[in-house]
Homo-oligomer: A and B are copies of this chain.
Amino acid sequence: MNLAELKSVCGACGIRELCLPAGLSDEEVHLLDQHVAHRQSVRKGDYLYRMGDPFRSLFAVSHGFFKTVLVHEDGRGQVTGFQMMGELLGLEAIHSERQVCDAIALEDSAVCTISFEQFEELGHLMGNLQHRFNQDLSREIAREHSLMMLLGTMRSEERLSVFLLDLARRHERRHQSGDAFVLRMTREDIGSYLGIKLETVSRLLSRLHDEGVLDVHGRHIRILDRQALAHRGQDSA
Contact = CB atoms under 8 A, between A and B. Distances in A.
Given A120-B131, A195-B151, A138 B94 contact: yes
Interface stretch (A68-76, A167-175, A202-210, A212-220): A68-76
A124 interface: yes
A235 B134 CA distance: 40
Contacts of A25: none
A120 to B, nearest CB: 6
Contacts of A137: 91, 94, 134, 137-138, 141
Interface string A65-107: 0000010101011101000000000011111100011000000
A91 B141 contact: yes
A142 interface: yes
A94 to B, nearest CB: 3
Interface residues of A, number: 47
26 contacts: A70-B145, A70-B146, A70-B148, A70-B149, A72-B149, A72-B153, A74-B234, A76-B149, A80-B148, A80-B149, A91-B138, A93-B138, A94-B138, A95-B135, A95-B136, A96-B138, A120-B130, A124-B124, A124-B130, A130-B130, A137-B137, A141-B141, A144-B147, A148-B151, A152-B193, A152-B194
